[in-house]
Amino acid sequence: MRHNFGAGPCILPQEVFKQASQAVLDFKDGLSILEISHRTPEFEAVVSETVSLVKELLNVPSGYSVLLLQGGASMQFAMVPMNLLPEGKSAAYLDTGVWANKAIKEVKNFGTANVVASSKDSNYSFIPKNFEVPADSAYFHYTSNNTIYGTELFDLPAVNVPVVCDMSSDIMSRTIDVSKYDLIYAGAQKNIGPAGLTIVIVKDEILGKTGRSIPSMLDYRLHIEGGSMYNTPPVFSIYTAMLNLRWLKSKGGVAEMEKDNIAKARALYTEIDRNSLFKGTCAVEDRSRMNVCFVMENPDLEKPFLKYADENGFEGLKGHRSVGGFRASMYNALPITSVHALVELMQSFEEKYK
Ligand code: PLP
């Protein structure tokens, strides 16, 4: 099997894909998970177990709701200000990349986005640290992992306003203290399940304060009341997410994943720093554990390295077009043996070309 370093969508363990495919053929009495009614007790049990697993794995305190929505993280870019930003008010945003930028662009439909800091001028190669969030901001929004640029913000900045975080590409990869956040959202398709499902974890008491009329499908409160079943849910994505969260739990939960992810990141960054042909693209203290971006000292060697990787069974290493070079995405499902294999590949390439 090939080593899959792709950025997604949906990198899950093989055993989860197998179980999910079985349920497409026969979930209950020969009927597919895709055809049974989502109002059956069997499917309601799937929704309820998925929500419980998210709560358990992330240690979600009481007073928060876990929602299973659609529309991707991109829909949250608009839903967040629509539900949390009163007319004429301002929300603080940290600009750390393309996704943060897209979130910022949506705010103008509802109020003002105050960009408190940006690393755009250095192609988002670091996370800005020195900034102030005005005390009258409706909330502070940041992206915890910048999938394209390979930076990750591990410590929540000290702010005195409600905190909203886009955790699409590092949720479930490390422990977090949910009580420090007012709203967390994530497109499911990295560490949770197939695209089509979006997870939102929201502190109930922050809702209903904008005075704005909100279309039903975009109103968090209606989804809370409807138990994430206001309309037909993405049944396959939810079911597969449940299987994957069960897998994660069986592996010891998020804290164990975090240990693995630290070991995987350490192994690859150590090689990038040691190998004379490669170099990292981000500030060392902001290096992501999920998406490792690197280039070659001699750009002429990049195509030959990609070819060499392809011939030796490696998938998805080409960097995003806005950074170039390589991106090794190392979500929970990627075994450390694949990282060791990549390190060996880089070493043998060095032997050939140094
Ligand atoms: N935010 C981050 C950090 C992402 O990595 C992505 C997609 O990769 C998105 C938002 C957009 O997510 P979606 O495609 O679910 O709208």
Task: State the residue for tokens 């999938």.
Answer: 147
Say which residues have a Cβ less than 8 Å from residue 190's Cβ, sequence separation at least 6: 7, 8, 9, 10, 11, 147, 168, 169, 170, 171, 290, 331
Residue 293's CATH number: 3.90.1150.10
- My answer on whether 51 and 194 are in the same domain is yes
Name the 3-class secondary structure at 91: strand
Residue 17's identity, in one-letter code, is F
Sign, CA dihedral 134-138-140-142, equals: negative
- My answer on whether 269 and 218 are in the same domain is no
Phi, psi of 327 (to 5 degrees): -140, 120
Q: Residue whose CA is closest, atom 12 of ligand 1? A: 73
Name the 3-class secondary structure at 148: coil
- My answer on whether 183 and 230 are in the same domain is yes
- My answer on whether 191 and 266 are in the same domain is no
Distance CA 179, CA 62 (A): 9
From 233, 250, 267, the end of a domain falls on 250
Distance CA 212, CA 208 (A): 9
- My answer on whether 230 and 291 are in the same domain is no
- My answer on whether 55 and 124 are in the same domain is yes
CA 200 to centroid of ligand 1, rounded, Å: 13
CA 234 to centroid of ligand 1, rounded, Å: 18
> E-assigned strands of 131-181?
140-143, 145-146, 151-152, 163-166
Q: Cis bond leading into 81, ω under 30°? A: no
- My answer on whether 190 and 261 are in the same domain is no
CA 293 to centroid of ligand 1, rounded, Å: 17
CA 295 to centroid of ligand 1, rounded, Å: 23
The count of other CB atoms within 10 Å of the CB of residue 156 is 15
Q: Residue whose CA is closest, atom 14 of ligand 1? A: 72
Say which residues have a Cβ less than 8 Å from residue 206's Cβ, sequence separation at least 6: 84, 162, 182, 183
SS3 breakdown of the chain: % helix, strand, coil, rounded to 5?
A: 40, 20, 40
pLDDT for the residue numbered 11? 87
Both structure tokens of 32: 């597919």
Beta pairing partners, 202: 65, 183
The reply, when asked if residue 166 is annotated as ligand binding, is yes
- 9 assigned to some structural domain: no
Which ipTM value was assigned to this complex? Answer: 0.99
Name the 3-class secondary structure at 236: helix
- My answer on whether 106 and 226 are in the same domain is yes
Both structure tokens of 1: 């099997």
The reply, when asked if residue 147 is annotated as ligand binding, is yes
- 6 assigned to some structural domain: no
CA 274 to centroid of ligand 1, rounded, Å: 32
pLDDT digits (tens, 9 = 90+) for 212-267: 999 999 999 999 999 999 999 999 999 999 999 999 999 999 999 999 999 999 99
The count of other CB atoms within 10 Å of the CB of residue 22 is 12
Name the 3-class secondary structure at 66: strand
| Burial group, residue 177, by CB count within 10 angstroms (0-12, 13-18, 19+) | exposed
CB-based contact 170:152 (threshold 8 Å): yes
Distance CA 162, CA 8 (A): 30
Q: Residue whose CA is closest, atom 4 of ligand 1? A: 168
pLDDT digits (tens, 9 = 90+) for 37-77: 999 999 999 999 999 999 999 999 999 999 999 999 999 99
The reply, when asked if residue 39 is annotated as ligand binding, is yes
Q: Residue whose CA is closest, atom 15 of ligand 1? A: 72
Mutate to test the pocket of ligand 1, among 11, 74, 164 (most ligand atoms within 8 A of CB): 74
Q: Which atom of ligand 1 is nearest to the CA of 8?
A: 8
Q: Which atom of ligand 1 is nearest to the CA of 75?
A: 16
pLDDT for the residue numbered 88? 86
DSSP, res 61: P
The reply, when asked if residue 189 is annotated as ligand binding, is yes
Q: Residue whose CA is closest, atom 8 of ligand 1? A: 147
Q: Which of 98, 68, 78, 30 is nearest to 235 (CA)?
A: 68
Catalytic site positions: 99, 166, 190
- 2 assigned to some structural domain: no
- My answer on whether 136 and 235 are in the same domain is yes
- 3 assigned to some structural domain: no
pLDDT digits (tens, 9 = 90+) for 180-195: 999 999 999 999 999 9
Q: Which domain holds residue 228?
A: 14-250
- My answer on whether 270 and 303 are in the same domain is yes
- My answer on whether 46 and 61 are in the same domain is yes
The reply, when asked if residue 2 is annotated as ligand binding, is no
Number of domains in the chain: 2
Pairing of strands 140-143, 90-95: parallel
pLDDT digits (tens, 9 = 90+) for 280-337: 999 999 999 999 999 999 999 999 999 999 999 999 999 998 889 999 999 999 999 9
Ligand 1 pocket by C-beta < 6 Å: which residues?
72-74, 99, 143, 147, 166, 168-169, 187
- My answer on whether 261 and 137 are in the same domain is no
The angle formed by the CA atoms of residues 83, 90 and 151, to the nearest 5 degrees, is 85
Q: Which of 176, 202, 180, 225 is nearest to 84 (CA)?
A: 202
pLDDT digits (tens, 9 = 90+) for 159-215: 999 999 999 999 999 999 999 999 999 999 999 999 999 999 999 999 999 999 999
Distance CA 274, CA 102 (A): 36
From 250, 275, 300, the end of a domain falls on 250
From 197, 229, 250, the end of a domain falls on 250
Residue 138's CATH number: 3.40.640.10
